[in-house]
Amino acid sequence: MALTGVLRPGHCQLRVLDLEESVDYYTNIFGLVEVARDESGRVYFKCHDERDHHSLVLREADRSGMDFYGFKVLDKATLDKLESDLNAYGVATERIPAGELLETGERVRFRAPTGHVFELYAEKTEIGDGLGYVNPDVIIEDRKGISPIRLDHWQIHGADLDGSRDLFIKVLGFSLVERILGEDGKTDMAVWLTCSAKAHDIAFVRDERNDTLHHASFLLPTWERVLNAADILAKHRCSIDIGPLRHGITRGTTIYSFDPSGNRLETFCGGYDFYPDMKPYSWTQDEIGSAIFYHTRALNERFLTVVT
């Protein structure tokens, strides 16, 4: 599949309550690589396998949650066109100058109908994965902790799901992959959208709590690594929400946990390939348990209610 517009989730800025405690967690337990700190005190991380400078930025604050979500686009021309398309659709945009995030080019920022702040960017310094580009090795050594492959997707909550869904499909070129329908059999209660051939790059859930984060998800290569993540989280007495198990939606395998600030994280594996000619799957209210947790066919209250 040729990707010509929005390419993938590129970065996000997460609020944490204790910066150094969080740095220790994301370095030694979650297994990311600290790459930089800026003058404002933010700390930048990447996964070992990612090539761009960073995918996660931590900012100390008095409440947890996500400041913004960034998608990388193909090039500057694409960035300009998407900003024009957003404006024509009635969405106000703001240009964030290059360098406001370290090693990152100019960003186009906008607010979705669910209240979340998104940004698009075309340029970020490529620092590589340490394997080199000529006759590369295949094993990245000195990994710590869970050590996911990449930032994969987000699930976020807000009231105007329809508005955000339509914006992402009609303007940004995303495709609807799966949905959970309301009791009327028509209303979307949750949608999973992709800008690539992945099962999803973002999910929106209808919720009166605008601009909230359910989870940020990072990819693991195998089911065995998901089980290993569970072992690591248990060994370090981390707060596990649920898992390891399988989703009905996307068919991915998963474990959910919380960082020291209460932000929910998913380490995720699998999921089917999706192409724009494929029809979306729909799940009805009576099968919502199977949709989310296929093995247990039941949802725990914490998974349904806790957001940051």
Say which of 83, 106, 119, 266 is annotated catalytic.
Answer: 266
Catalytic residue among 153, 157, 178, 214: 153
Instruction: Provide the token pair at 127.
Output: 């620092």
**Which of 11, 53, 200, 214 does the annotation list as catalytic?**
200
Question: How remote is the C-alpha of 154 from its chain's centroid?
Answer: 3
Q: Is the pLDDT of residue 252 over 90?
A: no
Give the C-alpha distances (Å, rounded to integers) separating 273 from 197, 230, 250, 290.
5, 25, 9, 20
Known catalytic membership, residue 11: no
Residues 25, 26, 69, 256: which is the catalytic one?
Answer: 256
Least confident among 49-53, 165-169, 245-249: 245-249
- 53 catalytic? Reply is no
Looking at the fold, whether 108 and 154 belong to one and the same domain comes out as no
Q: What is the mean pLDDT of residues 28-50?
A: 97
Do 189 and 262 lie in a common domain?
Answer: yes
Residue 29 is given by DSSP the state: I
Regarding whether 240 and 183 lie in a shared domain, the answer is yes
What pLDDT sits at residue 18?
Answer: 97
Domain that holds residue 289: 150-305
Cβ(42)–Cβ(59) under 8 Å?
yes
Active-site residue 157, yes or no?
A: no
- Peptide linkage before 244 cis (omega within 30 of 0): yes
Residue 68 in any domain: the answer is: yes
Decide if 143 is inside a domain. no
Selection from 109, 146, 286 nearest residue 220 by Cα:
146
Known catalytic residue at 200: yes
Q: From the candidates 69, 215, 287, 295, give the one annotated as an active-site residue.
A: 215
> How far apart are alpha carbons 30 and 16 in whole angstroms?
15
pLDDT 10s digits, 198-232: 989 999 999 999 999 999 999 999 999 999 999 99
Which of left, alpha, beta for 162 (phi over 0: left; psi -120 to 50: alpha)? Answer: alpha
b/e per residue 21-31 (b: at least 16 CB within 10 A): ebbebbbebbb
Q: DSSP alpha helices (H): ranges in the chain?
A: 19-24, 76-88, 161-170, 223-235, 288-292, 301-305
The number of distinct structural domains making up the chain is 2
Residue 153 annotated among the catalytic residues of the structure: yes
Tens of pLDDT, residues 48-96: 999 999 999 999 999 999 999 999 999 999 999 999 999 999 999 999 9
> β-strands 239-246, 107-111: how paired?
unpaired
Residue 290 lies in a domain: yes
Sheet containing strand 6-16, edge to edge, reads 33-37, 43-46, 56-60, 6-16, 65-73, 117-121, 107-111, 94-96
Residues 262 and 165 placed together within one structural domain of the fold: yes
> Catalytic: 256?
yes
| Statement to judge: residues 157 and 300 lie in one domain | yes
**pTM value?**
0.95
